[in-house]
Amino acid sequence: MSADHNSDRWSREHARELDQQDPLSGFRDEFYLNKDVIYFDGNSLGLLSKRAEQSVQEVMDSWKRYGIDGWTSGEHPWYYMAETLGNLSATLLGAGQEEVVITGSTTVNLHQLVAAFYQPNGNRTKILADELNFPSDIYALQSQLRQKGYEPNEHLVQVKSTDGKTLDEEAIIAEMSDEIALIVLPSVLYRSGQIIDMKRLTEAAHSRGILIGFDLCHSIGAVPHQLDEWGVDFAFWCTYKHLNGGPGSVGGLYVNRRHFGKAPGLAGWFSSDKEKQFDMEHTLTPASTAGAFQIGTPHILSMAPLIGSLNMFEEAGMDRIRSKSLQLTDYLLYLIDHFLAGYHFTVANPLMHKARGGHVFLEHEEAVRICKALKEAGVVPDFRSPNGIRLAPVALYNTFEEVWQVVDILHTIMVEERYKQFEKKREVIA
Ligand SMILES: *Cc1c(COP(=O)(O)O)cnc(C)c1O
């Protein structure tokens, strides 16, 4: 960086210089940004891009124009869209194209995969998870255990966190006993943003004869993956966070090719080999790829934004996205350290690049009210009960200058104690 001649590394001017050197800066113009708002919540719901809007329009047009023939005609034939978009996602995952399919949702895909991969046998009847995961994953695992006749209190092992924020890989490995049949963990923790070492845990699991799958909701589109190289058994994710697929956009799943041929846990006619599906036989011939883990008719209209959105990821490249994301969070942490020292914030995300996901996590006992004050000042953060503030500067559409502004606004809120005019109570959606 040629900023040596710039005496003030904490100035807004310096932030603008960083923006000028940003190779991804052109993508910002492709998104719909409200000019009065700084959006730092792309890890909950990514923003709409013009390309995503365009692809929705194209799919609507093919419905308008072709009716039922849209399944096989037009620019994006619906019948193949789950597979086509899976192919387009493969580079984000370090996966082969046939190992990925766009289908279902995080929770549905978790159910589907656990129904297939959790095969209690002899002494191995337990599922290993953690105590920091998103509740939906835990509810799904509990109900999957009940489906197979096991009591979750005894058969779901949740690794403890010593600091309530992060997980220690040693502690996870220590729980990999010969009673564990399956492990399901997040790749990046949704609160602290800690990246879990998937390679190391996969090796440890496999050397003990245990299958392992990961929830990639907070890593896909933010952090590169090498699922094939690491040998992960399966993975699943949503596409409305870093992938900007829109509210309720269709999720995705990965099945390592060594498991091709495994029967889907929850079968349906879209599990079929595509050539055979319309033979309408009562004996299912599953697809020979990850496509076998689909269930019913794909939600085409909720998949359509991904055509445009994934295309942008392809163009931007995961390495450049990760590199800018780390620069943004580095810069945010650096400014927080400088401007907010003395205001009782605790930085609760890992500092090492290797363990830091796409967002910064601050803890403060006034977090609820500080988030309300931020919103009033035109900043969209993400409050996480009871005391967490997630700030996600997103590589494709946020700027270094916005990072500077957010810290400046936060500083003013603290100096003027502006948060005190709000009620200390979270909203229904927080
Ligand atoms: C966002 C998120 C979910 C949401 O699940 P849906 O089925 O998409 O509603 C689940 N798990 C994790 C870890 C998440 O971050």
Catalytic residue (choose from 39, 190, 214, 240): 240
pLDDT band at 7 (very low <50, low <70, confident <90, very high): low
ω into residue 386 within 30 of 0, thus cis? yes
Q: Check whether 4 has a pLDDT greater than 50.
A: no
Q: Which amino acid is at 347?
A: V
pLDDT of residue 2: 38
**Mean pLDDT, residues 165-186:** 98
Nearest C-alpha neighbor of 307 from the set 107, 97, 87: 87
Q: Check whether 425 has a pLDDT greater than 90.
A: no
Distance 134 CA to ligand 1 centre (A): 7
Residues recorded for the chain: 430
**How far apart are the C-alpha atoms of 181 and 76, rounded to whole Å?**
40
For the CA of 215, the closest atom of ligand 1 is 13
190 lines ligand 1 (CB under 6 A): yes
Q: Check whether 6 has a pLDDT greater than 60.
A: no
320-376 residue pLDDT tens: 999 999 999 999 999 999 999 999 999 999 999 999 999 999 999 999 999 999 999
In the Cβ-directed half-sphere of 225, how many Cα atoms lie within 13 Å?
Answer: 32
Which amino acid residue places its CA nearest to atom 11 of ligand 1? 134
Domains of the chain in sequence order: 3-30+317-421 (3.90.1150.10), 53-316 (3.40.640.10)
Q: Measure Cα distances from 299 to 89, 211, 369 in Å.
A: 17, 30, 38
Q: Check whether 170 has a pLDDT greater than 50.
A: yes
Catalytic residue (choose from 51, 191, 241, 418): 241
- Quickly list H helices, 272-317: 300-316
Q: Which amino acid is at 194?
A: Q
**Could you tell me what percent of the chain has a pLDDT over 90?**
96
Strand order in the sheet with 382-384: 346-347, 360-363, 388-391, 382-384
For the CA of 238, the closest atom of ligand 1 is 8
Where does residue 357 fall: left (phi above 0), alpha (psi -120 to 50 degrees), or beta otherwise? beta
**How far apart are the C-alpha atoms of 103 and 92, rounded to whole Å?**
16
**How far apart are the C-alpha atoms of 242 and 414, rounded to whole Å?**
29
pLDDT of residue 1: 35
For the CA of 108, the closest atom of ligand 1 is 7
For the CA of 186, the closest atom of ligand 1 is 13
Q: Check whether 197 has a pLDDT greater than 60.
A: yes
**Mean pLDDT, residues 52-71:** 98
379-419 residue pLDDT tens: 999 999 899 999 999 999 999 999 999 999 999 999 999 99
9-51 residue pLDDT tens: 899 999 999 999 999 999 999 999 999 999 999 999 999 999 9
Q: Which amino acid is at 66?
A: Y
Mean pLDDT over the full length of the chain: 96
**Mean pLDDT, residues 60-85:** 97
Element (H, E) at 185: strand 180-186
pLDDT band at 3 (very low <50, low <70, confident <90, very high): very low
- What is the C-alpha radius of gyration for the chain, rounded to an integer number of angstroms? 22
Answer yes or no: are the C-beta atoms of 61 and 53 closer than 8 Å: no
Q: Which amino acid is at 138?
A: I
Q: Is residue 330 helix, strand or coil?
A: helix
The residue to mutate among 217, 240, 359, 361, having the most atoms of ligand 1 within 8 angstroms of its beta carbon, is 217
Nearest C-alpha neighbor of 198 from the set 159, 172, 161, 222: 172
Q: What are phi and psi of 407, to 5 degrees?
A: -70, -35
**How far apart are the C-alpha atoms of 243 and 239, rounded to whole Å?**
5
**Cα Dmax for the chain:** 74
Catalytic residue (choose from 22, 41, 137, 215): 215
Which amino acid residue places its CA nearest to atom 3 of ligand 1? 106
Distance 277 CA to ligand 1 centre (A): 30
Instruction: Find all residues with CB under 8 Å of 202, minimum gap 6, and list them.
Output: 212, 230, 231, 232, 233
Catalytic, 313? Answer no
Distance 248 CA to ligand 1 centre (A): 11
Q: Check whether 192 has a pLDDT greater than 90.
A: yes
Residues forming beta bridges with residue 158, ordered by sequence position: 129
Question: Which pTM value belongs to this model?
Answer: 0.96
Which amino acid residue places its CA nearest to atom 8 of ligand 1? 106
Q: Check whether 70 has a pLDDT greater than 60.
A: yes
pLDDT of residue 5: 46
Element (H, E) at 138: helix 135-147
